[in-house]
């Protein structure tokens, strides 16, 4: 409640009071008591004002663009955020400072996310700033952070006015670069017995004019051309041949690595959104399949229309900023981030009268040793015969003794170290908040407090809900990639086979999937793709890795020799580039045997390639050469 200025004033007044009592100077004592009474009276008035106003504050938020207030936003466009703190109480505050949390997806352009001034019923406090979202996703605004103070700056009160507002940011509108050039082709009659369509119909594009034949419908007669040529002419239109395309988008943990809007998932969403908009422009049918490691998130059958396109773009926007959650995240790095976030958005839930922490708790009842994470050990070398079995048993026994010694030392350290006791206090207070917030029921606080795995999971969920990034390890001690998730290939295979069972002839299936370190699961995908090719479908694979010959600085004809590196980061990039080159060669060779193209390229080339394949299918369905 007291600021640094207030503490200095209080200490000065008390010092003068004790000095006056010590030397027996009545005027000094009287002045000190007067100042002390004035300080206490000012504190009482300020406390009553804050307590009276605290429950009667609300936030009014509005998002505007050039045309006015909007509810849905588009990536790449600028928009203005206008927030207002309104007081519905008759009591006013002399000075208020407010601040708005800028979402992780937003990029600040102009303005300020802070505001200050006097707060009353007739005088709200406003702030305004401009943001720009580089990619699709969601903007989450939790509310405003409020800091109230008196006119002299002796007392302060920190509050957070909650008002949750979520805005959906749709993918950027496709421009002319995302569309392939449309050239009118001669309409050749389809070959009999192949490529039958349930809705052949006549199109709207004029193909040619010919002489009238008996039996032609009168509505097809071109009267103006007939009058000019003095004979009846009949109009011929191009056939409507819609192409069906299904996009399989990978939203697993391996594509969520990195900052929201700048990771691989954002690139996949941009490619899929551009294809959806380009297909809608030529009235093709587009479907969408979203999958991750364990399950199929969403499957939308191919269709067309404005409402269908809006639905697809909305689904892509919802998964564009999915957070990365892994069991390998370090708990010591998650705790400070989660506690800082709780201090910002839930300062009232960390007060001692609401969320108390007994000082004896770290000494008397620390976290049990059996619930803590075991220390990482290198992979044991395999042995052969009886000697190898004995060595493995001795190693196991030694590891157990080291594990008991480790627990003993950690228990002593956590009781004596002030840093460990502070982290334990953070964990207990966060456990109380998260157990209520996530509705864990009885025993939820104890589970988060004593089980590292449960605590790690709920801390990541808490940070992900508020779009706060946290560090995630990518490799273990043996150099294995921790986010490979090869089981997602099984989910993709089931979804692809289900689409084949409901498909038509000559459909296009685009697999936007990360195939890094999938191992033997790649054979399952090869068999599913071979089944699709046997049913006269086309399959295109877009791998969301960086361009091996461009972004990693390695030329296509250069030998795989270790180059001179100047830092550890350069060495890491060299090793990652080499691993990606080897994986790319394996994937390309496996799918090249069955004529399936695999593309490692930026967004523009990927969209152009997909639209080129759709144009080839359209020509093939008309009976022309592909």
Task: Give tens-digit pLDDT for 381-393.
Answer: 444 454 454 445 4
> What pLDDT is stored for residue 392 in this prediction?
53
Torsion of CA 585, 586, 589, 591, to 10 degrees: -120
Q: Which residues pair with 211 in a beta bridge?
A: 233
DSSP per residue, 113-159: SEEEEEE-SS--EEEEEEEE-SSSEEEEEEEEEEEEE-TTSSBEEEE
Greatest mean pLDDT range, 72-86, 239-253, 532-546, 601-615: 72-86
Q: Answer yes or no: is pLDDT of 186 > 70.
A: no
Over residues 24-31, the mean pLDDT reads: 88
Cβ-proximal residues to 49 (8 Å cutoff; 6+ apart), any chain: 91, 92, 93, 148
> What pLDDT is stored for residue 382 in this prediction?
46
φ/ψ of 149, rounded to 5, equals -150, 160
Q: How many CA atoms lie within 13 A of 245 on its CB side?
A: 33
The fraction of the chain above a pLDDT of 70, given in percent, is 78
> What pLDDT is stored for residue 8 in this prediction?
92
Largest Cα separation within the chain, whole Å, is 128
Greatest mean pLDDT range, 163-167, 203-207, 617-621: 163-167
Length of the chain: 626
Using alpha carbons, list the distances in angstroms from residue 484 to 46, 256, 512. Answer: 57, 12, 15
Q: Which residues pair with 538 in a beta bridge?
A: 508
Q: Answer yes or no: is pLDDT of 129 > 90.
A: yes
Q: Answer yes or no: is pLDDT of 556 > 50.
A: no
Which is nearest to 493 in space by CA: 269, 285, 296?
Answer: 296
Over residues 230-254, the mean pLDDT reads: 83
SS3 50: helix
Cβ-proximal residues to 363 (8 Å cutoff; 6+ apart), any chain: 415
Buried b (16+ CB within 10 A) or exposed e, 558-587: eeeeeeeeeeeeeeebbebbeebbebbeeb
Q: Which two tokens stand for residue 30?
A: 């009287």
Q: Answer yes or no: is pLDDT of 147 > 50.
A: yes
> What pLDDT is stored for residue 349 in this prediction?
87
| Res. 553 pLDDT band, cuts 50 70 90 | very low
> What pLDDT is stored for residue 566 in this prediction?
52
| Res. 555 pLDDT band, cuts 50 70 90 | very low
Cβ-proximal residues to 97 (8 Å cutoff; 6+ apart), any chain: 114, 115, 116, 146, 147, 148, 149
Model pLDDT for residues 192-214, shown as the tens digit of each residue = 333 333 333 455 567 778 899 88
Pairwise pLDDT comparison (574 vs 564), residue with the higher score: 574
> What pLDDT is stored for residue 200 in this prediction?
35
> What pLDDT is stored for residue 604 in this prediction?
62
Over residues 479-504, the mean pLDDT reads: 84
Residue 18: other Cβ atoms inside 10 A: 12
| Res. 99 pLDDT band, cuts 50 70 90 | very high
Q: What interhelical angle do 331-345 and 452-465 show, nearest 10?
A: 40
**Angle subtended at Cα 458 by Cα 452 and Cα 464, rounded to the nearest 5 degrees:** 130
Q: Is 80 in contact with 63 (CB distance < 8 Å)?
A: yes
What is the rounded CA–CA span in Å between residue 486 and residue 497?
A: 18
| Res. 374 pLDDT band, cuts 50 70 90 | low
Mean pLDDT of the chain: 79
What is the rounded CA–CA span in Å between residue 66 and residue 326?
A: 41
Q: Is 256 in contact with 469 (CB distance < 8 Å)?
A: no
> What pLDDT is stored for residue 548 in this prediction?
45
User: Would residue 342 be called left, alpha or beta, if left means φ above 0 and alpha means ψ between -120 and 50 degrees?
Assistant: alpha
Which is nearest to 496 in space by CA: 434, 462, 551, 540?
Answer: 540
DSSP character at residue 475:
B
Over residues 111-124, the mean pLDDT reads: 90
Composition of the chain by helix, strand, coil, percent to 5: 45, 20, 35
Greatest mean pLDDT range, 307-316, 515-524, 613-622: 307-316
> What pLDDT is stored for residue 568 in this prediction?
58
Q: Answer yes or no: is pLDDT of 562 > 50.
A: no
DSSP character at residue 54:
G
DSSP per residue, 153-175: SSBEEEEEEEEEEEEEEEPPPP-
Q: Answer yes or no: is pLDDT of 531 > 60.
A: yes
Q: Answer yes or no: is pLDDT of 151 > 80.
A: yes
Q: How many whole angstroms from its chain centre is CA 489? A: 21
| Res. 152 pLDDT band, cuts 50 70 90 | confident
Q: Answer yes or no: is pLDDT of 283 > 50.
A: yes
User: Would residue 610 be called left, alpha or beta, if left means φ above 0 and alpha means ψ between -120 and 50 degrees?
Assistant: alpha
Q: Answer yes or no: is pLDDT of 621 > 70.
A: no
| Res. 610 pLDDT band, cuts 50 70 90 | confident
The fraction of the chain above a pLDDT of 90, given in percent, is 22
Which is nearest to 171 in space by CA: 266, 65, 288, 66?
Answer: 266
> What pLDDT is stored for residue 248 in this prediction?
94
> What pLDDT is stored for residue 189 in this prediction?
40
SS3 252: coil
Q: Answer yes or no: is pLDDT of 39 > 70.
A: yes
Q: How many whole angstroms from its chain centre is CA 509? A: 25
Q: Residue 596 burial by CB count (10 A; 0-12/13-18/19+): exposed, middle or buried?
A: buried
> What pLDDT is stored for residue 115 in this prediction?
92
Cβ-proximal residues to 167 (8 Å cutoff; 6+ apart), any chain: 63, 71, 72, 73, 138, 139, 141
Sign of CA dihedral 503, 507, 512, 514: positive
Q: Answer yes or no: is pLDDT of 132 > 70.
A: yes
Q: How many whole angstroms from its chain centre is CA 22? A: 66
**Angle subtended at Cα 449 by Cα 444 and Cα 452, rounded to the nearest 5 degrees:** 105
Model pLDDT for residues 70-94, shown as the tens digit of each residue = 888 888 889 999 999 999 888 889 8
Model pLDDT for residues 307-345, shown as the tens digit of each residue = 999 999 999 999 988 888 888 888 888 999 999 999 988
């Amino acid at each position: 409640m007291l600021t640094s200025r207030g503490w200095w004033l209080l200490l000065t007044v008390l010092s003068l009071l004790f000095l006056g009592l010590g030397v027996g100077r009545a005027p000094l004592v009287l002045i000190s008591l007067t100042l002390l009474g004035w300080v206490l009276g000012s504190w009482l008035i300020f406390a009553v004002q804050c307590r009276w106003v605290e429950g009667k504050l609300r936030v009014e938020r509005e998002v505007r663009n050039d045309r006015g207030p909007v509810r849905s936003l588009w990536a790449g466009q600028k928009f203005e955020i206008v927030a207002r703190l309104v007081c519905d109480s008759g009591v006013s505050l002399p000075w208020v400072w407010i601040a708005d949390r800028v979402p992780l997806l937003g990029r600040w352009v102009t303005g300020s996310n802070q505001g200050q001034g006097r707060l009353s019923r007739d005088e709200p406090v406003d702030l305004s700033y401009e943001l720009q979202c580089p990619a699709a996703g969601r903007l989450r605004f939790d509310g405003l952070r409020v800091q109230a103070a008196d006119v002299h700056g002796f007392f302060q009160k920190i509050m957070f006015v909650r008002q949750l507002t979520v805005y959906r940011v749709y993918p950027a509108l496709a421009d002319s670069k995302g569309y392939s050039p449309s050239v009118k082709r001669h309409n050749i009659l389809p070959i009999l017995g192949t490529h039958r369509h349930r809705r052949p119909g006549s199109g709207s594009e004029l193909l040619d004019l010919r002489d009238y034949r008996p039996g032609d419908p009168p509505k097809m007669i071109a009267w103006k051309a007939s009058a000019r040529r003095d004979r009846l002419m009949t109009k011929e239109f191009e056939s409507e041949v819609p192409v069906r395309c299904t996009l399989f988008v990978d939203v697993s943990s391996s594509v969520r690595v990195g900052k929201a809007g700048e990771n691989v998932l954002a690139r996949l969403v941009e490619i899929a959104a551009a294809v959806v908009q380009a297909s809608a422009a030529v009235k093709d049918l587009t479907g969408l399949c979203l999958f991750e490691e364990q399950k199929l998130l969403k499957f939308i059958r191919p269709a067309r229309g404005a409402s269908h396109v809006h639905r697809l773009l909305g689904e892509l926007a919802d998964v564009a900023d999915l957070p990365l959650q892994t069991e390998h995240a370090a708990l010591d790095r998650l705790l400070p981030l989660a506690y800082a976030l709780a201090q910002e958005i839930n300062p009232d839930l960390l007060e001692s009268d609401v969320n108390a922490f007994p000082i004896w708790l770290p000494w008397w009842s620390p976290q049990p040793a059996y619930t803590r994470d075991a220390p990482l050990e290198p992979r044991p070398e395999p042995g052969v015969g009886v000697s190898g079995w004995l060595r493995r048993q001795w190693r196991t026994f030694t590891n157990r003794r080291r594990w008991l010694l480790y627990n003993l030392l950690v228990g002593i350290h956590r009781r004596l170290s002030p840093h460990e006791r502070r982290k334990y206090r953070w964990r207990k207070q966060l456990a109380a908040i998260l157990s209520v917030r996530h509705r864990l029921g009885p025993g939820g606080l104890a589970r988060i407090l004593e089980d590292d795995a449960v605590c790690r999971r709920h801390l990541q969920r808490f940070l992900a809900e508020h779009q706060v990034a946290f560090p995630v390890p990518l490799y273990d001690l043996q150099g294995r990639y921790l986010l490979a998730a090869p089981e997602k290939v099984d989910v993709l295979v089931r979804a692809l086979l289900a689409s084949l069972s409901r498909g038509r002839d000559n459909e296009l299936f685009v697999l936007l999937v990360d195939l890094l370190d999938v191992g033997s699961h790649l054979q399952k995908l090869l068999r599913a793709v071979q089944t699709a090719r046997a049913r006269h479908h086309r399959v295109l694979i877009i791998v969301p890795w960086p361009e091996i010959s461009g972004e990693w600085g390695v030329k296509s004809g250069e030998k795989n020799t270790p180059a001179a590196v100047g830092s550890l980061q350069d060495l890491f990039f060299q090793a990652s580039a080499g691993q990606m080159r080897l994986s790319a060669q394996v994937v390309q060779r496996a799918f090249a045997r069955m004529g399936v193209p695999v593309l490692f390229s930026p967004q523009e080339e990927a969209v152009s390639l997909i639209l080129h394949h759709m144009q080839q299918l359209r020509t093939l369905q008309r009976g022309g050469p592909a």
